[in-house]
Structure 1
Amino acid sequence: MTRPHALLAALLGCALMTNAAIAGGYSGPGTATRVTTVAAALSAADDTPAVLQGHILRHHGNERYAFSDASGEILAEIDDDEWPARTIDAQTRVRLIGEVERGLFKRTLDVDRVEIID
């Protein structure tokens, strides 16, 4: 393997390991702490894994939604293909799985999966 290919393979392997940590797997020393509340997400580092439970309150356009739990409110970016088959409204309790995105002035939640909590 040439050097550029080896570097690409190493980077791809790191990306796959990060996704495995979010979806389950190992959670001991050396893994990122997962945030579970909006309040924690609003002060978390960029790319911190997040699993939040609460309600999607409003649509702000362009795949952006206001999400709320008992600790506060955060803007969630949810791609159209991440929604479950059922319709969700402001009274539907949901679990958002993704990571914190730290912008210049605020933090948002980049959502990888939306689950309805029955």
Structure 2
Amino acid sequence: MISKKLLTGLLAAACSVGMLAATTASAQYVGPTRVTAKTSIRSVLKNPVDDELVILKGRLTKQLSHDKYEFTDKTGTITVEIDQDVFAGRQIGPDTVIEIAGKVDKDTGKPVEIDVKRIGIAAATSKK
């Protein structure tokens, strides 16, 4: 039979490992990177590469279907797919400037779209 001291020690060790794993999982790298992303609709449409990372700043100008929207920036317009959970309960209208991060979705025979993974409200800029 296992002694109480041994059982207590094993339980404490298991909890310590679990806490260490939880702490490590939430860490994020904040240094320099070589990952690049296209930042305009024009550059996406000029040379679309499937699954390429994009970060675009603009507006949702129209809802096309349940999860598809028209997104417009200073260089053009493209269809984006946004799942409801990505909105995270925020209400975003056509006057809201947002930043979207996602991947290019290029299927043969279909128009290029962006599969949005994250939405942020763009910081307000003052006009002087």
TM-score by length of 1: 0.71
- Segments of structure 1 that go 5 or more residues without pairing to the other structure are 1-22
Q: Percent identity?
A: 28
Q: Which runs of 4+ in 1 moved over 3 A?
A: 23-26
What whole-Å deviation, never above 9, does each CA across 1:60-111 have from its counterpart, x for those lacking one?
Answer: 0120000000000000000010004331110100001101011223210000
Code of the residue aligned with 1:54 in structure 2: it is: G
1:56 matched to 2:60: yes
- Between structure 1 and structure 2, the one with the greater Rg is 2
- In structure 2, the gaps of 5 or more residues are 1-28, 124-128
Q: Is the 8 A contact 1:84 1:115 kept in 2?
A: no
Residue of structure 2 equivalent to 1:99: 103
Name the TM-score, length of structure 2 as normaliser: 0.66
In 2, Cα distance between equivalents of 1:114 and 1:83: 7
Specify the alignment match of 1:89 in structure 2.
93
Higher strand share goes to which structure?
1
Shift of 1:26: 5.9
Matched letter for residue 115 of structure 1: G
Question: Residues 40-79 of structure 1 correspond to what in structure 2 (within 5 A)?
Answer: 40-42=43-45, 43-79=47-83
- Determine which of 28, 33, 54 is the counterpart of 1:27: 33
* CA distance in 2 between partners of 1:100 and 1:64 (Å): 14
> Does the C-alpha gap of structure 1 residues 104 and 70 become closer, same or farther in structure 2, counting only changes over 3 Å?
same
